[in-house]
């Protein structure tokens, strides 16, 4: 079904169509990608047309956060809306920059992760700006860069130390009010062997064979232990070996092999302690087997664990109730910008249309009715907060 046969007249859906048409792949995934610049330009133009001041915050060359402030001029709390502008690579998705409708779904790269939330927040800011008398709080909106890689956009925003009393981060939560999610510990393990001619392998020491022992340690010791741990909202922690690289050519015993590992942590686990414990245990295991290896940190990210009685929760639940949305707080297995805000003492929830199952996929889509509802949820929350 073409865009001409749009299933909705809600402004947020039209905004989402515009955003899908704009390629905003994070350059980390594709050196030829344009990054977030054109999305930032689009949002800035909309705000300027509506007479809403916009502030650009440079993060990388040509990649800026956008910060919009709606101030009441009164002594009121501040609510932050945050959503990222970057997407993963276009991959094998067919016509990824062409919005398409089918069976109540809108397809396109970023439709689910997370331009659907971005569209709803843009709609909310425009509605609040045109009806400022409805506000009981100051409203901040930050459209950030680099969430899909290392969160540099949000980190730069937090460096401004702007006072915030509550925050909602846009991610696909299937319309659930998320108060808990996993964090992650990303690191590499490199084994060190000895090169030799493949006709005389006994003269060498294969780093690939050494790595086989490391993988056995992960599968047989670490994975079963993690499966026995459990968080009521987030489930069990996990560990995944995402990449492996070893050797240089077929006729040389490989002297080096490296794996990249993604360890998802649950609330209550500290990322630094998780990495330190894994490293110590692997070193003990390796020593007894003659394995020479090095562990190197890539990224440490905390889990989200917003208390169920945090000040933002009653407002979020009331907004959900007004729209007939399930209001019981939930947890999700992925990570987001929210945990960084919570670490700064800001009570934070995650909310948005779509499911993480569709994010980054070959057929990324978002339910149209959820885009509409999410936009109205953000608007409800903006007008209720501080009341």
β 78-84/100-102 pair status: unpaired
Q: Are residues 213 and 77 in the same domain?
A: no
Can you point out the beta strands (E) in the chain?
55-60, 63-70, 78-84, 100-102, 105-107, 138-144, 166-170, 178-181, 183-192, 238-246, 256-265, 293-301, 304-305, 330-332, 348-351, 365-367
Domain boundary among 253, 270, 301: 301
Q: Are residues 43 and 122 in the same domain?
A: yes
> What's the CATH code of the domain at 258?
3.30.70.360
Domain boundary among 249, 281, 301: 301
What is the per-residue pLDDT across 216-238, written as a single tens digit (0 to 9) for each? Answer: 999 999 999 999 999 999 999 99
Q: Does 5 score more than 60 pLDDT?
A: no
Q: Are residues 213 and 198 in the same domain?
A: yes
> What's the CATH code of the domain at 34?
3.40.630.10
Count CB neighbours of 315 within 10 A: 23
At 19, the pLDDT band (50, 70, 90 cuts) reads very high
- Give pLDDT, residue 4: 44
Q: Are residues 295 and 325 in the same domain?
A: no
Domain boundary among 301, 332, 350: 301
Q: Is 240 exposed, middle or buried (0-12, 13-18, 19+ CB in 10 A)?
A: exposed
And the tokens for 333? 């297995």
Residue of 385, 331, 31, 10 lying closest to 171 (CA atoms): 331
Q: Are residues 148 and 217 in the same domain?
A: no
- Give pLDDT, residue 127: 98
Q: Are residues 56 and 30 in the same domain?
A: yes
- Give pLDDT, residue 2: 44
Helix 116-130 vs helix 368-384: crossing angle, to nearest 10: 40
- Give pLDDT, residue 1: 39
Q: Are residues 53 and 105 in the same domain?
A: yes
- Give pLDDT, residue 122: 98
What is the per-residue pLDDT across 164-206, written as a single tens digit (0 to 9) for each? Answer: 999 999 999 999 999 999 999 999 999 999 999 999 999 999 9
- Contact at 8 Å (CB) between 168 and 81? yes
Q: Are residues 79 and 105 in the same domain?
A: yes
Average pLDDT on 285-289 reads 94
The fraction of the chain above a pLDDT of 70, given in percent, is 98
The model's pTM:
0.93
β 100-102/55-60 pair status: unpaired
d(CA 109, CA 324) in angstroms, rounded, equals 29
Domain count, the chain: 2
And the tokens for 157? 């925003």
The fraction of the chain above a pLDDT of 90, given in percent, is 96
- Give pLDDT, residue 351: 98
Q: Are residues 16 and 165 in the same domain?
A: yes
Q: Are residues 308 and 322 in the same domain?
A: yes
Mean of all residue pLDDT scores within the chain: 96
Q: Does 123 score more than 60 pLDDT?
A: yes
What is the per-residue pLDDT across 26-35, written as a single tens digit (0 to 9) for each? Answer: 999 998 898 9
Q: Are residues 232 and 326 in the same domain?
A: no
Domain that holds residue 104: 3-181+304-384
Q: Are residues 158 and 229 in the same domain?
A: no
- Give pLDDT, residue 34: 85
């Amino acid at each position: 079904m073409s865009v001409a046969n749009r299933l909705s007249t809600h402004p947020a859906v039209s905004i989402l169509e515009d955003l899908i048409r704009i390629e905003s792949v994070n350059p980390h995934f594709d050196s030829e990608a344009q990054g977030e610049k054109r999305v930032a330009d689009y949002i800035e133009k909309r705000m300027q047309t509506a007479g809403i001041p916009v502030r650009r915050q440079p993060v990388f060359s040509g990649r800026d956060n956008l910060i919009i402030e709606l101030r009441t001029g009164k002594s009121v709390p501040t609510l932050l809306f945050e959503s990222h502008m970057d997407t993963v690579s276009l991959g094998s998705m067919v016509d990824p920059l062409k919005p398409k409708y089918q069976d109540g779904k809108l397809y396109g790269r970023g439709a689910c992760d997370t331009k659907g939330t971005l569209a709803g927040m843009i709609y909310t800011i425009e509605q609040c700006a045109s009806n400022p008398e409805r506000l009981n709080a100051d409203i901040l909106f930050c459209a950030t860069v680099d969430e899909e890689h290392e969160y540099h956009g949000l980190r730069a925003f937090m460096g401004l130390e702007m006072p915030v009393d509550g925050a909602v981060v846009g991610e696909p939560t299937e319309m659930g009010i998320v108060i808990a999610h996993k964090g992650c510990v990303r690191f590499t393990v490199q084994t060190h062997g000895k090169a030799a001619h493949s006709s005389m392998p006994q003269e060498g020491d294969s780093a690939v064979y050494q790595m086989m022992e490391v993988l056995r340690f992960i599968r047989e010791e670490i994975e079963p232990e993690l499966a026995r741990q459990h968080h009521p909202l987030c489930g069990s922690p996990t560990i995944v070996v995402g990449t492996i690289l070893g050797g240089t050519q077929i006729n040389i015993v490989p002297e080096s092999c490296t794996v990249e590992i993604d360890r998802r942590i649950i609330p209550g686990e500290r990322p630094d302690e998780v990495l330190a414990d894994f490293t110590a245990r692997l070193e003990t295991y390796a020593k007894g087997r003659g394995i020479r290896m090095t562990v190197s940190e890539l990224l440490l990210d905390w889990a989200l664990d917003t208390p169920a009685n945090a000040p933002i929760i009653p407002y979020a639940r009331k907004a959900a109730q007004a729209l007939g949305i399930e209001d019981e707080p939930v947890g999700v297995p992925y990570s987001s910008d929210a945990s960084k805000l919570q670490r700064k003492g800001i009570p934070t929830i995650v909310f948005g249309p779509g499911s993480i199952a569709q994010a980054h996929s070959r057929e990324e889509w978002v339910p149209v009715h959820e885009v509409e509802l999410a936009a109205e949820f953000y608007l409800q929350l903006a007008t209720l907060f501080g009341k």
